[in-house]
Amino acid sequence: MDGILKNLAETFSHAVDYAKEKITTITGTTSVTIVELSEHIINQPETKLIRKDLLGIPFSFYHLQKEGVTYYVEMKSSQILQLDVLAHDHTIVSYRSYRDKSNLPTAIRFPKTLLSR
């Protein structure tokens, strides 16, 4: 059982490192805000956009698959409702406006232990 847990932890660590590397490449820094990350996803030419008007409210759904990382942004008008970043089937970033609203302006920072790898 210890071997399985250790293998799972290593796999997750590699996924985090991979996503960290990609986000660092995107932003040129080791931290990024939810707004900055969502703008990057939205502005990529490969991003697929689905627009829906639900009950008279415009919603936008952005999907991007790039270099093994999956990005998803969901917006109501200009408000970010949800943002997800997944690498190797592991969730790296998970933002929900109903849950994390107070955290919107803060940056996602990567621990120094991850940066040294």
Provide mean pLDDT across the span 9-33. Answer: 64
Provide mean pLDDT across the span 11-30. Answer: 62
Which tens digit of pLDDT belongs to each residue from 31-80? Answer: 778 888 899 899 999 999 999 999 999 999 999 998 888 999 999 999 99
Q: Which two tokens stand for residue 50?
A: 């689905």
Specify which of 19-28, 93-102, 103-112 reaches the highest per-range mean pLDDT: 93-102
Backbone angles phi, psi at 73, to 5 degrees: -130, 135
Please state, in angstroms and as integers, the Cα–Cα distance from residue 85 to each residue in 34, 37, 70, following that order: 11, 10, 6
The whole model's pTM is what?
0.68
Dihedral Cα 5, 65, 50, 54, nearest 10 deg: 20
Backbone angles phi, psi at 55, to 5 degrees: 55, 35
Neighbouring CB atoms inside 10 A of 43's CB total 9
Provide mean pLDDT across the span 7-31. Answer: 62
Mean pLDDT of the chain: 76
Q: Which two tokens stand for residue 109?
A: 């920072």
